[in-house]
Amino acid sequence: MENVYFDSAATTQIREEVVEKMTSVLKENYGNPSSTHSFGRSSKSLIEQARKTVAKILNVKASEIVFTSGGTEADNLALNSAVRDLKVERIITSRIEHHAVLYTVDQLKECFNVEVEYVALDAKGNVDLKDLEERLQGSDKKTLVSLMHVNNEIGNMINLKKTANLIKSYGALFHSDTVQSIGHFNLDLGEIPVDFTAVSAHKFHGPKGVGFAFVRSHSGLKPLIFGGEQERGHRAGTEGVHNIVGLEESIKLAYENLEEEKEYTLELKKHFINELKKEVPGVKFNGECENLEKSTYTLINVCLPLSQEKALMLLFQLDLKGIACSKGSACQSGSEQGSHVLNAFLSEEDKKKPSLRFSFSRYNTKEEIDYVVKTLKEFIEN
């Protein structure tokens, strides 16, 4: 096989229907949405229709959707404003969050002297809710908790509603990075008492460079980017109308086809796990990714029985065979350090072995999985 793409947690292939919709908007709806003439009003109406579409899917108000450049900006918007404007003095998070959260929290600690605590993890990388509750009980400071719904490297999932109810019972704010879950799971944010979430369109077959923040009404959140009054004053800058329409089309199609595509992708994951177990003795599955109830259906993260010396050539050899996968998060690809997620809970012995993340979508096949497993087996045995 010439090209096998198993890196959908980094970014997904855009749907053809989305490309067609965006192309039409680029050609025909070029007015500035802030302009009052008919060209501007036409563009503005597309944005507001997209906002309503997203809000309906998530069971929230259209006014609670703020379009951004993606998940990173949405995370930064919520965390920065919570400290700067909502006077949060303490943040509780975990050491396996995306760096959009971890690095922002570090900056807030340095600039605003925010108290930062990291919730305990178990041996599989799961958040310890008992430890979280003890931390919530242990301080009267205004607190925000930031915990991602689905981990982007190992696929572990928290019970979002249970976690949100626990946090709200102690009067704390709750921010959740839902970049790996919205578009892949039904989330009723009208029923789940989360205050802020972050979403990125390119994780569910939409365009790069666009996403949104869900911001609960009357939160008091202030903008991160200042300028014009776009996005009801929450996010200045002329909107990328084609990108927002692309987000709308991709999230709409994601949920219209959710059950069918979820079932198909889950079968791919099961097949991948079974074939690895059969053909690669000594393989381990990091986190909860082997547990179909506790992890997302979109990825697996495997620890391979290889020496450190041989491991150095693994990704190179896979690339030569046309196989795209990830050593960890794509945002870490330029780093020489190991995965901060795996380093947070793996044993010292397993940290020395190579771990790979394979993430898949509706565009993958079982034949591709068989090819990948065969390639891994040959590399390990030779």
Write out the catalytic residue numbers.
Answer: 331
CA 281/CA 286 separation, integer angstroms: 15
CA 179/CA 346 separation, integer angstroms: 24
- Residue 365 in tokens: 């096949």
Q: How far are the Cα atoms of 67, 205, 273, 360 from residue 251, in angstroms, in the given order?
A: 13, 8, 28, 17
User: CB neighbours (10 Å) of residue 159?
Assistant: 13
CA 331/CA 11 separation, integer angstroms: 11
Cβ atoms of 151 and 96 closer than 8 Å: yes
CA 209/CA 243 separation, integer angstroms: 7
Strands (E), the chain: 4-5, 65-68, 90-93, 115-118, 143-146, 173-177, 196-200, 211-215, 284-285, 299-303, 323-324, 355-359
- Residue 361 in tokens: 């979508």
User: CB neighbours (10 Å) of residue 260?
Assistant: 10
CA 327/CA 9 separation, integer angstroms: 12
CA 314/CA 291 separation, integer angstroms: 26
Give the contacts of 249 (CB within 8 A, at least 6 positions apart).
Answer: 15, 17, 18, 21, 22, 206
